[in-house]
Structure 1
């Protein structure tokens, strides 16, 4: 589709034709123009090729949808949004051999506020065209750096900062990003004739991609930089302090604009995306905004009742009255002593466990036996 061909016209069907109608028409035309049946007609082979290309797109539901989207955006010079304005790189003015203006390679059209075709290609091909558009013009936004960071439980609960060591690509300090050795000359790239882009086909579609030789710069040095080997970038390690928001959980992400890789030729730096993994705590666990603290008591405390002291998240102590006959697993709620997030605050849940001694002194064992006999328990 880089040549701007109207595939519906090639097959001689309307844009509302059904899949069966397209298939039937393709078979009829393929039989008519097949090279084996037209060995003395060299134009038949070219016609057969066009028919096959058109069917390859229109005969596939997903490709047809993408093609129709581009067709509606006026990608065929007068079809679709006739009022949209279009601007293309050199060489995009006419289809070779046809003399049809506006039917060339449509790379960076502006269709009046809808967005360039680079945006459309971006959605079709995973962002390749849109994300690399800046690079094709000699500049490129810095890389987005993603990293998983382990955060202590209490830092995640209350908020704080953690240091993070990162490895990112930054502009080479020796060549300052142009990839040239000191004293080397810069000349136009022979592969892309200095445009910085080459045409790249994907199925029946074509887009412009950064030239792999000059990496989108449009020029190459007579001698490459020995430090970065001509890439213009160097891998560096740096440490940044990341602010952990209060109430962060495992999977929480934060994006720091401009803290990723450095852009080339003065372009904007990339972003740093941090995903938190919250480490377990020896005392607390979490249920939403509620904190759960497990507190062990002995058999006598559980049987007779007692009072225990528990630390809150901010280091203060609260007293909990344990009533007689408390069983393991029972919880006591301390209101407002949980995790605070977005104006809401959870509670502290104190969960009781019964600690059974592994060994007893003679006096303790006698007391337990007396207790068992008094209750009629057999052992």
Structure 2
């Protein structure tokens, strides 16, 4: 089933305030809370759908990306897909809903625990986003762009473990490896990250001196990004394994390169077709002619202008458009008949003579709309 617009899910308009977003989510979360709807799969899905919408719209960066690019703008930016992500989205509502950890375990099969056997097991690193702006011509024909950005890489000294060579790590004595501690608040039991281990479930006895026990180091790197021919404004290029390194030596996430295309001075694009406008004189329009028109590739192509052509006429030039998928679109030329603003004395005489010869009248008849639309 297609995903619904996040604003639609929460019943809001795009200009909704943060407080409006919070209130709308709170209302839906109470309505569809699993404790109120035991065994109701539809309510469970609505609960998760509302939470995903809130997680995106309550974050200024993610909301801005979603408003500009839709779902493509927030894909890979850490939207809630597991218990840990949903738990962070619910921060601030624990006093209403009680112990979320049990609910998340029901939804996702164990919350933060992973294949490593504890809360701090191996996990994939975060995906990263990079925005670039490229010229119109490069978007049409493709190019390569060098980008620089900072990412988390696994510490070379400890190979991402955070422990010095030969040292190990032990179960956190405070949370017994769960990464969570619970406290009672009225009728509710609230889980929070363990203050001793920071939610990892273990403590390192001898932290690595290079990374301070984090297992990661910030590194600046350069990579070449291949922009495919025919890429459109707002599209993205995914570069696998160039995101942040995962915790505890986990695999890296991906890098998402989002593309903005600069407008061209003379050309516009519609799918695989290119459009431009070319001026012609009234005599060229009346008599017909041959023009040499410059394409986006800076080629000169001969274009035959038929006699009697009207202002705004579109001429199609095959296979001079956008290349993509082994074929190429067309180029359309709009003819703009330009009326001279200044005439020589001789020019005026010739036009007056033409007017008399052609029998021009001062009381023209209306042009039918059907005929106008054909032109």
Q: 1:237 to 1:367 in 2, by over 3 A?
A: farther
User: Is 1:156 matched with 2:132?
Assistant: no
Paired with 2:298 and 2:182, the residues of 1 have a C-alpha distance of 62
Q: Which residue of 2 aligns with 1:60?
A: 36
User: Is 1:240 matched with 2:248?
Assistant: no
Q: Which residue of 2 aligns with 1:301?
A: 284
Q: Which residue of 2 aligns with 1:7?
A: none
* C-alpha contact (below 8 Å) 1:306/1:324 kept by paired residues: yes
Structural mapping, 1:140-289, within 5 Å? 140-172=123-155, 177-179=160-162, 188-193=171-176, 195=177, 197-198=179-180, 213-215=196-198, 216=200, 218-220=202-204, 231-289=214-272
C-alpha displacement of 1:196: 5.7
Q: Which residue of 2 aligns with 1:337?
A: 320
Q: CA offsets per residue over residues 195-244 of structure 1, 9 Å max, x none?
A: 2632679xx9999997564352612356786x766544343332322222
Aligned residue pairs total 272
Paired with 2:136 and 2:257, the residues of 1 have a C-alpha distance of 16
User: Is 1:121 matched with 2:108?
Assistant: yes
Whose Rg is larger?
A: 1
Q: 1:197 to 1:63 in 2, by over 3 A?
A: farther
C-alpha displacement of 1:348: 1.6
Q: 1:354 to 1:207 in 2, by over 3 A?
A: farther
Q: 1:180 to 1:368 in 2, by over 3 A?
A: farther
Paired with 1:365 and 1:130, the residues of 2 have a C-alpha distance of 86
C-alpha displacement of 1:255: 1.9
What is the CA RMSD across the aligned residues, in angstroms?
A: 4.6
* C-alpha contact (below 8 Å) 1:189/1:220 kept by paired residues: no
C-alpha displacement of 1:273: 1.7
Q: CA offsets per residue over residues 264-322 of structure 1, 9 Å max, x none?
A: 43321111122222222222211221121221222222222221112344443321111
Greater shift, 339-348 or 240-249, is seen at 339-348
Q: CA offsets per residue over residues 146-180 of structure 1, 9 Å max, x none?
A: 23332322222222222233232223467654557
Paired with 1:343 and 1:221, the residues of 2 have a C-alpha distance of 59
Paired with 2:248 and 2:224, the residues of 1 have a C-alpha distance of 27
Gaps of 5+ in 2: 1-31, 46-100, 363-375
* C-alpha contact (below 8 Å) 1:283/1:294 kept by paired residues: yes
Q: 1:343 to 1:118 in 2, by over 3 A?
A: farther
* C-alpha contact (below 8 Å) 1:197/1:208 kept by paired residues: no
Partner SS state of residue 108, structure 2 = helix
* C-alpha contact (below 8 Å) 1:170/1:261 kept by paired residues: yes
TM-score by length of 1: 0.56
* C-alpha contact (below 8 Å) 1:138/1:196 kept by paired residues: no
Paired with 1:130 and 1:188, the residues of 2 have a C-alpha distance of 16
* C-alpha contact (below 8 Å) 1:129/1:207 kept by paired residues: no
Partner SS state of residue 136, structure 1 = coil
Q: Which residue of 1 aligns with 2:333?
A: 350
Q: Which residue of 1 aligns with 2:310?
A: 327
Gaps of 5+ in 1: 1-55, 70-105, 108-116, 123-127
Q: CA offsets per residue over residues 309-348 of structure 1, 9 Å max, x none?
A: 1234444332111112222221111222222322443222
Paired with 2:274 and 2:138, the residues of 1 have a C-alpha distance of 14
Q: 1:165 to 1:207 in 2, by over 3 A?
A: farther
